[in-house]
């Protein structure tokens, strides 16, 4: 896939890190900069992908095998990319996505223990050369994250996993950030809300300067 005109931002993190709140901060920042954007999520983003999301999150009598879970995630992603993400980027819009393939490496790879090579192979097959331009990883200890998630209401299939599962997921995210420092930025989500917002805005000003300039010149 050729480099598109739009800019692709993903937001990552375990349960309870405040992705929705920080996405709102991010999109307000983009609006103030005059950027045309869309917000989407994974799994999901299209009608079919949202149905797959329901399968992944629902608690049922028949448990989903780890490989089935992985393949369902990428089935939803394939639909999402072709029907929403690629067209938006190619039209010049910025895309803000609540989780993407880093979540698969963290949850199915780190959390479930699936072979990273299998995930990488599926990533290449489904995404071709498409990768996020910027990934914001909201970092929080699992205990605090799950406490926050529990306060939101009933827990889905992933949210009911044990604390050790989320510890592995968190570490996987931190490993990804360490391996790809040019793309990934870690934001401490344990701070008070206003402090997290300030850190996020400062980072956006530093990271997006060139991209914003190019967008405004089009």
Which residues carry a binding-site annotation for ATP? 13-20
Joined tokens for residue 54: 């329901």
Return the number of other C-beta atoms located less than 10 Å from residue 197's C-beta: 20
Please report, in range form, the residues annotated as the binding site.
13-20
Residue (of 6, 4, 9, 50) closest to 27 by Cα position? 9
Alpha carbons 154 and 143: distance in angstroms, whole number: 17
Alpha carbons 54 and 27: distance in angstroms, whole number: 26
How far CA 12 is from CA of 123, 142, 185, 195, in Å, comes to 17, 14, 10, 18
Alpha carbons 217 and 142: distance in angstroms, whole number: 42
Alpha carbons 205 and 16: distance in angstroms, whole number: 25
């Amino acid at each position: 896939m050729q480099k598109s005109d739009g800019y692709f931002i993903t937001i990552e993190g375990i349960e309870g890190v405040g992705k929705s709140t920080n996405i709102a901060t991010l999109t307000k920042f983009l609006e103030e900069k005059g950027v045309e954007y869309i917000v989407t999520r994974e799994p999901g983003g299209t009608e079919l992908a949202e149905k797959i999301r329901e399968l992944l999150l629902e608690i049922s009598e028949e448990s989903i095998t780890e490989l089935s879970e992985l393949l369902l995630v990428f089935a939803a992603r394939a639909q999402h990319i072709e029907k929403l993400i690629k067209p938006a980027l190619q039209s010049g819009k910025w895309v803000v996505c609540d989780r993407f393939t880093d979540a698969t490496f963290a949850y199915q790879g780190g959390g479930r223990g699936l072979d990273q090579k299998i995930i990488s192979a599926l990533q290449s097959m489904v995404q071709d050369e498409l990768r996020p331009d910027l990934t914001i990883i909201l970092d929080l200890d699992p205990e605090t994250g799950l406490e926050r998630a529990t306060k939101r209401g009933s827990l889905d299939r992933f949210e009911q996993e044990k604390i050790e599962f989320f510890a592995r997921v968190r570490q996987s995210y931190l490993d990804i950030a360490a391996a790809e420092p040019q793309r990934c930025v870690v934001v401490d989500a344990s701070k008070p809300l206003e402090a997290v917002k300030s850190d996020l805005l400062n980072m956006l000003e530093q990271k997006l300067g060139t991209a914003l300039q190019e967008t405004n010149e089009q």
